[in-house]
Chains A and B, each alone.
Chain A
Amino acid sequence: MDEPAVVLESVSVTLAGADRPVLRSVDLSVEEGELALVVGRTGSGKSTLLGAMCGRVPHFTGGTLRGRVLVHGRDTREHRPRDLADLVGVVGQDPLAGFVTDTVEEELAYGMEQLGLSAATMRTRVEETLDLLGIPELRDVPLRELSGGQQQRVAIGSVLTAHPRVILLDEPTSALDPVGAEDVLATVTRLVHDLAVTVVLAEHRVERVLHHADRVVHVAPDGTVSAGEPAAMMATSEVTSPVVELGRWAGWQPLPLSVRDARRAAADLRAGLRGRSPSPVSPRAAAAGRREPVVRARGLVVRHPGEVLAVAGVDLDLRAGEVTGLMGRNGSGKSSLLWALQGSTAPTAGRVRVLAREGGEVNPAGLPPDRRRERVGLVPQSAADLLYLDTVGGECAQADRESAAPPGTCARLLARLAPDVPADRHPRDLSEGQKLALVLAVQLTADPPVLLLDEPTRGLDPVAKAALASTLQGLADDGRALLVATHDVEFVAECADRVVLLAAGEVVAEGPTAQVVLASPTLAPQVAKVLRPGPWLTVDEVRTAVDGEER
């Protein structure tokens, strides 16, 4: 039997300045040719585990590593990351941040240049890799002009050219739309099946990868690590996919991991649910549908410099007490639409009207910034850009001053959204979920009746995402109109009352969530795919319907 690709022997890692270890006596081995999926809550040490496998921990990050990490027999104590470059390829979350050169071809060659391979070898490997990734037509294209999915595939290709035997991927699809993510994961599985490369992949969106995984490695919040067969691990994991959740609730054995398996197991459930439909939308959403819109956009056009038409004539209404999901692939104009609705970007043509506090309608682009945020609040994609003070308390006090709100308003809001954020903590040290809560609190201090959120679920684990979904529901209950731009179909199924689908800057579909997402195979959540043709979107809906029946 061959030696395992990666072996960790009683590894403990304590980062510099931390008082407790991130990883605690980890014993783990990953066999050659395996696809190992690493799951765990945000901040539980998934990245540290991957870092330890490529030598970044502790050579690059500092801190103390006890125990031993062997990669194909090479000990990371004696080998720096650069000495493992021919053996281990590392792909991060943001491909653009790791690019060294400007064009696809040069980027693919960079790693080989560092290894000193001959010019002829480099030429053939670049061509092979372009074919393997299916992007030969992109060879001369500047990296910054690629779409997110293409960039991530180039990043994978650029480590692949060095012919590594292990590839580590840290949340490779978190920034991608469903189709881009599928492309990247298809490439990864192809590597595993065709080239027998060992792949270790960390991912929050378990539902995207679970059915490809040979093994699941679970990192617990206390730093202990357990590993095993995916079905066995998923039976107890707190981070799961909707399919697994449905299977656990229904008691299916063996636990299904893919939509296909679940569909085969779900025949009885489907029969039991036939003729029924989820309890009608919440009374709030039903009432909202009858109200006058708070935001009314007509013929909205946004043109960016360089003749890029980002938003091409959009009509949109947002109603108080309603959560609207804004979906569409990367670059379909979701962010541009949000900024134009908020008024910070003046639209090229068309009009936006927001209900004014004193009655009547105003154009948000015509207001000064401080008045504008009292009408429409926006939480941008990189929410942390809004924070610049060194304590949470300082940010809250500053927010109160900015919005002329009574002192303590923002702190109270924050306590409601995330109860356990200490006021003396530096905002950068907060978890992604806490950071988002802080920014949300800052924007809510101005008490805007309309709130726009751009990709709020990025970097959130399923538990934090569920918390965000109920927060947004709560805000809608208060009578606010919410528009959430996101790629995450499961999140939309959880929290949106209505969905607007954008493509190339135009609205292609609009309506109640179930109606829009059920009509599209790429947008349908997993539960809908399992229980098709029934109109079920989430495990909660099914659970409520069945349990209510029994009672």
Chain B
Amino acid sequence: MGRLDLDVPRAVHPAAWWGWAVGLAVAASAGTNPLLLLLALAVAGLVVAARRGSSPWARAFRLYLWLGVAVVLVRVLLHVVVGVKTGRTVVLPLPRVSLPTWAAGVELGGDVRLEGLLAAAVTGLRLAVVIACIGAANALANPKRLLRSLPAALHEVGAAVVVSVSVAPQLAESVQRVLRARQLRGDGARGLRALPAVALPVLEDTLERSLLLAAAMDSRGYGRTEPDGPAGRRAASAATLTGLLLVAVGLYGVLDASTPALLGTPALLTGLLLCGAGLWLGGRRVHTSVYRRDPWRGPEWLTLGSGVVAAAALTVVGRVDPDALSLPLSPLAPPALPVLGVAGLLVAALPALLTPPPPRPAARVAPRGAREVRARG
């Protein structure tokens, strides 16, 4: 592990954040112990608060939290309406609708009992925490930088995604401009009737912009490939396709115990190797380089490692003491607090302290002067 270099602000490699988030998500999905789930949520929140940048997507973490709240509420509501009510303590007496025999097994209404309600709430909470982990990765890792670290063979796909992301605000701008122009012709119509009058100029504008951008990218060397024989291209495609096929078969083999052992892990590994080879072969044709590639140093190892430790700790707890990971329902009792699990989750909070702070770009909004709606000539 290299030095941590915490003094110089820089963005931690996005892949490290994703690795960390997936580790935390795996840890969270291991059980339904609400104490551990809430601890995982707190860890994710702490790291996001400490290390997110200033970009627009960094502010989206809150949206994921609201999505989590919605998931819990929907889960509880579904339980009250159609869930199978188990347990003894009735908290909300409700009439039960008897359903015809073909719908046996579905219970509409019925007394709501504490045990069932809690079980529904914690399963909802588990999903909510997993969502929050994904949200944390999104807030911490700049998606554009992640695309820049794609293998060379996927370079062109990455460029397409980057371009489409930056086109979105331009599209909104041109819709706004055309709507204002409609008003100048005395047309205050909104909704469907205004669609042709708005959509046509916007569409033409967008198409024209795309052509200009494509021409500009072409002249700046986008898509320069070394003259590489069709044989090389074919080899790359063949390797990738065969690899993907083997991965599919291998996954099936791993999940289905009745298939021969050879179709399981060996097929999966060979498939992954072939995919890698295909990407490498394809990447050899592309001779682009990356300006300021994100470095992978100590903080990245630490971030990734802390996620792995959390996942491993919870998995070990699940093997050794499976009961500690769930909320005891019959009889209802306070959940256990496994020391190893708590320690593992706390390790995942380390990136909040032991990674360099994100860079803060200087604010540059002119205090005065209009941002004239820029039009193209």
Contact = CB atoms under 8 A, between A and B. Distances in A.
Interface string A91-118: 0111011111110011001111111111
Given A94-B377, A119-B293, A304 B370 contact: yes
Interface of A: 54-56, 59-60, 80-86, 88-90, 92-94, 96-102, 105-106, 109-119, 122-123, 126, 140-141, 144-145, 148, 158-159, 162, 171, 174-175, 302, 304, 306-312, 330-336, 339, 342, 344, 368-373, 377-378, 380-382, 384-388, 399, 402-403, 428, 442-443, 446, 458-459, 504-505
A308 B372 CA distance: 11
B162 A101 contact: yes
B361 interface: yes
B220 A114 contact: yes
B221 interface: yes
Contacts of A90: 216, 219
B219 A88 contact: yes
A370 B188 contact: yes
B181 A100 contact: no
Contacts of A122: 289, 291
B289 A113 contact: yes
Nearest to B173: A144
Interface stretch (B120-128, B196-204, B328-336, B346-354): B196-204
B186 interface: yes
A162 B291 contact: no
Interface in B284-313: 287-293
A300 B355 CA distance: 51
Contact of B222 (A114, A118, A148, A403): A114
B164 to A, nearest CB: 12
B376 interface: yes
A85 B221 contact: yes
A332 B371 contact: no
A92 B216 contact: yes
Contacts of A99: 166, 216
Contacts of A162: 220-221
A113 B212 CA distance: 20
Contacts of B222: 82, 100, 114
Given A140-B362, A145-B364, A368-B188, 17 more contacts: A82-B220, A82-B224, A102-B166, A113-B290, A116-B289, A141-B364, A159-B219, A333-B369, A380-B177, A385-B177, A385-B178, A387-B201, A388-B197, A443-B184, A458-B377, A505-B368, A505-B369
A330 B291 contact: no
Given A100-B217, A112-B291, A402 B187 contact: yes
Interface in B260-289: 287-289
Nearest to B197: A388
B181 A372 contact: no
Contacts of B93: none
B209 interface: yes
B184 A82 contact: no
Given A97-B216, A369-B183, A140 B369 contact: no
Interface string B167-187: 001000000011011111111
A372 B185 CA distance: 9
Contact of B186 (A85, A98, A101, A403): A403
B287 to A, nearest CB: 4
| Nearest 7 interchain pairs by C-beta | A85-B221, A310-B370, A370-B186, A98-B216, A382-B375, A109-B291, A114-B221
Contact of B376 (A85, A382, A386): A382
Interface centre among B144, B187, B372 (most CB of A within 10 A): B372
A386 B215 contact: no
A463 to B, nearest CB: 18
A398 to B, nearest CB: 8
A399 B218 CA distance: 41
Contact of B219 (A54, A118, A384): A54
A342 B376 contact: no
Contacts of B288: 113-116
Nearest to A339: B180
